[in-house]
Amino acid sequence: MVHALSEIRRVLVPNGILIDLRPVLDRWQVEVASASGIRETGRMLDFPIGLADDEAANESIAKAEREGWFLREREEFFPFVYSWDSPKEMEEWISAEWEGFIDLDEETGKTTRSAWALGDADSRVCVNVKMLITRWRKLQAPS
């Protein structure tokens, strides 16, 4: 990853901008939402491999900062919502796309299915993914 940052720096013009946009594992919130309101039904489970990936990304970018390759100008967290018509569709997505990184524990799955079944006709099942956006500015190589 450090090599990739070095390459990105090479192809950027002087004072060029790097935008880092990525999800950050933080036991993402699971909800059942309808026009009448939102009910939190639990949190996702983070797996060690996903947490290790986040840590590796943080270390790489910190190294790039220490080396004087980029200057961190601005950053913030924001929510990125995934939503499905039913808990079954959510569970299928998690198995297919997020397997090995995060999972739904039994209790959260049960609470979500129950809240959805008892909810309004327009109820949807949501996962609130925690996102981080950072703007970096390319610096000239330190002499």
State the residues that interact with other proteins by CB under 8 A: 1, 3-4, 7-8, 10-14, 16-23, 53-54, 56-57, 60-61, 74, 76, 78-86, 89, 92-93, 124, 131, 133, 135
d(CA 138, CA 70): 5
Least separation in angstroms between CB 65 and other proteins: 14
Task: Quote the least distance from Cβ 49 to other proteins, whole Å.
Answer: 14
Integer CA distances (angstroms), 50 to 42, 53, 98, in order? 19, 5, 10
Smallest gap, in angstroms, from Cβ of residue 85 to other proteins?
4
Q: What are phi and psi of 60, to 5 degrees?
A: -65, -45
Residue 114 beta carbon to other proteins: minimum distance, rounded to whole angstroms: 20
Residue 76's identity, in one-letter code, is: E
Q: Please say which residue, 7 or 105, places its beta carbon nearer to other proteins.
A: 7
| Residue with smaller CB distance to other proteins, 78 or 107 | 78
Please tell me what DSSP assigns to residue 105.
-
Q: 74 with 141: CB under 8 angstroms?
A: no
Residue closer to other proteins, measured from CB, 59 or 107: 59
Is the Cβ–Cβ distance between 129 and 28 less than 8 Å?
yes
Q: Which is nearer to other proteins, 39 or 135 (CB)?
A: 135
34: left (phi over 0), alpha (psi -120 to 50) or beta: beta
